[in-house]
Amino acid sequence: MEGTAGEAFNIGFGGRISINQLAEKLIVMTGNKDIVVPKHDTESRGDFPETQADNGKARRVLGWSPRVALDQGLKDYVEWFKANFKAGGAA
């Protein structure tokens, strides 16, 4: 890791997922039935309908690799968020 100060690294699960799919997963995991699922139907200039973090640099330079699958990581985050924050502000 020598000489990595100031470097930028993508940290992600390495797969591709649409913004709609990611939003739907989070809505299901939060159990909030009042949230309207956003639909990214038509692209506007500069839109990113999908996301994929290329973590190759982090793998090569840092020896990093994801240890948690996307669904498990989202589940862990939602549980952490619910335990640490209340509606309308911090816990």
User: pLDDT tens digit string along 23-66?
Assistant: 889 889 988 878 776 666 677 777 776 777 888 999 999 999 99
Look up the CATH number of the domain holding residue 35.
3.90.25.10
- Output the pLDDT for position 77: 93
- Residue 84 in any domain: the answer is yes
Tell me what pLDDT residue 72 has: 95
Would you say residue 82 lies in a domain? yes
The answer to whether residue 47 sits within a structural domain is yes
Contact assessment for residue 7 and residue 62, using Cβ atoms and an 8 Å cutoff = no
Q: Which residues contact 26 (CB under 8 A, 6 or more apart)?
A: 74, 78
Number of domains in the chain: 1
Residue 71 lies in a domain: yes
Tell me what percent of the residues of the chain surpass a pLDDT of 70: 85
What is the span of the domain harbouring residue 32? 17-90
What the block records as the tokens of 88 is 């309308």
pLDDT value of residue 58: 92
For 6-18, the pLDDT digits (tens) are: 889 888 888 888 8
Report if residue 12 sits inside a domain: no
